Structure formats: C-alpha cells, structure tokens
Amino acid sequence: MTQASELAEFRSDTRAWLAANCPDGVRGPGPIPWGSREQALDEDTRLWLDRMAERGWTVPSWPKRYGGDELTREQYRVLIEELGRIAARPPLTGRGVNYIGPTLLEYGTDAQKERWLPGIARGEGGWAMGYSEPGAGSDLASLATRAVRDGDRLVLNGRKVWTSDAMEADYIFVLARTSPDKPKHLGISLVLVDMHQPGVIVRPIRLISGASPFNETLFEDAEANADDIVGGMDNGWTVGKRLLQFERSTHAGINTSGSQGGRDDDNRLAERMIAQVGLDGGGRMAHAGLRRRLIACRVNDHAQRLTRQRVIEETSARAPGFASSAVKLTGAVNTQVSQELLLDAMGLAGIGWSGEAFADDDLEATRDWLRQKALTIAGGTLEVQLNIIAKRVLRLPD
C-alpha cells in the first residue's frame, strides 16, 4: 500500500470515528480545557476529552505508552484537517501538553516520563510557568529564585511574575538557581512543583482589560522532589530554552508535538466590520479606507499562514527552531492590527467600558483589543523575538 493510499484510509477512518464520537457541544467556538482541576467541565467537553484521551489524540504524536497515538506528521495534519472540517474544538490545550510535556519527552528520565506524561495527556492537572521575575525578565539568566537541596527534596524561595493562570493551576515548572556560585547561565535547574501546598502563594496582577490571567507567584519554603529536576541538576538553562521553543511554537500555531489547536476564521472580521459600516451600492464595504486596510490585513494574514504551514512541513523535530519566533511575532502583530481595524470600524461603540448604551459584543470587542496588547509581550517580547530573528534566522552580526 502506498503512502497516499494509507493516508486516504487513515482520513476515512478518522472521519468516521469523529462523526461517531464528537459531541455536538464541542463543535464551534468555546473554551478548551487545559487540565486545571479547579475548572469544572460541561458534560460534552468532559466526554470529548475522555474519548480523545482514550484514543491517544489529545497528544497525537506522543508515544502510546505515555498517552499518545504515535501519529506521523502527515497523519497529524490529516487529523487537524478533519477536526477543522467539523468545527470541532481541540480536546485539550495548555502548558502541560504543549510546553512541559514535550520537554519531558526530550529531557526527562524514564521515571519522570512514567510519572507525569500519562496524566498530562489525560488532562489531569493544569500547569503554570515560573520563569520571569521582577529583576529577571528579558535577562532571564539573572533570576534569583533559589532551590536548595535538602536530602531527597528541594526547598524553594523566591518570586515569579507573569505566571499565567497560576490561580487555577495545579503544578508549575520553575527555573530556579541551584548553584549560586556558578556563572549566571549555569547553576540553574528546571524543577516541577506542586502548587497545592502552603509554601506557594499566588497574587493576581490586574491588566488594563480588567482581567487577571497573570499573577505573581511566591515561594516561601515550598518543597519539590529532588527527582523532579528535569534534565539534571544545573542544566536548566539548556532545558529551559528548549521549553521556550515549544512555547513560541504553540503561540505561532506550529506546534507539532503537543496539542495542535486553534482554527482560523477568515470571514469573522469582515462580517463584524460590515455590520458596523454597511455596504455601498456595489455590494462592497461602504468605507473605502477601512476596506483597503482590511484587504491589506487579509493579505498579510494569508502570507503568515502560508509561512506557518511551510515551517510545519519543513520541521523534522518535535518543535521548530528559531523560525518559530518569526511566525509567532507576525501572528501576534497581525492579530493586533485586525483588532485595531475592528475598533476603528466601530467608532464610538468601540470605546465603551460599561453601561446600557453599549451592546455586550461592543464591550467584549473593547476588552479583546486591550487583551491583545499582551500578545507582543507574552511568550517573549516583540524586541526579544526581533533579536532572535536577526541573530538566529537572518544571521545578522551583533
């Protein structure tokens, strides 16, 4: 049987299985679970997660022994296409399946993989990310959080900021200094920490959108197992950088290791803008200036998607290399531009914060516009990504 015929058979089997097993309640827009035990799931979402986990399709490319289905890259692409065809939401997302899970597959010991990966694949616990600190953001190697060995445990003290979703997370992977006498890029370890203990304190950071997905997380004599250092003691800088590639790949929509999620909607922006400004006599968007800007936005968005697809097809590793920075950055900027465009079309309706004068959709659009400002900060700032692209992709001199 040729590869083409094998893929055709896989597509047919996948389509039939999805038709029989995908609940109606998970088709269309809506939240995607990320494993947090603090969040209750509706019946259809829980059923979808359990069925896909049993099939191995929450993490399709992972080894079967760890909860995956060992799909090839070509089969993975077919699965994503078939999910999109019926508008099915991914069954699971988050830092477990997309960040720390793939990192454990590369750097974890056999015992760590057996302990953590099957639960991650089933969505049994949501993860936060403990990297940035008040004095160590872009210069992450200056981090001051300490992890001191005490027998078979580590004792952590320090503070992390921008720990997204930490208020509802069950675990956190933390970069901590384990050998302060070594140079700053050395002597750092990546440690897995249970957040359900008295020594972990979470404080929300309120954003301009009014939401608080970001937090500061304090460690006051928090404990972790010494066996839960990923990649070995003092090797956290190497392991942590690899995890950042998985993070940026996820933000860019080119994750080929964890749970590839997200669906593009080409028409949503145009429909919302037309609802605001109407059509002219020729059936075109009535505002010529906005129309031109929308066309440019759509062209850039299409080019970005083609680049994203090319990177996926050229990637042989579990995550793209430095090219993920380029795809992540252009995707973030395009999203911000489209949100600005929508608010310009809304006029005064786009500046509301509360009150009966504004529709719920208007208020949500304003908050979306504010939330999207974080896209060029989260997962590596715009400036950091530009530096990576200049040095690692374009090979420009320092």
Just list the catalytic residues.
247
Distance CA(327)–CA(53), nearest Å, equals 29
Q: Which helix (H) or strand (E) holds 158?
A: strand 153-161
C-beta of residue 327 within 8 angstroms of C-beta of residue 304: yes
Identity of the amino acid at 174: V
C-beta of residue 216 within 8 angstroms of C-beta of residue 161: yes
Residue 149 burial by Cβ neighbours in a 10 Å radius (0-12, 13-18, 19+): middle
Query: Distance between alpha carbon 265 and the CA centroid of its chain, in Å?
Result: 18
Beta strand spans in 41-112 (E) = none
* Beta pairing, strands 229-230 & 171-177: unpaired
Q: Which helix (H) or strand (E) holds 40?
A: none
Q: Which two tokens stand for residue 37?
A: 């035990």
C-beta of residue 23 within 8 angstroms of C-beta of residue 44: yes
Q: Which two tokens stand for residue 7?
A: 């893929």
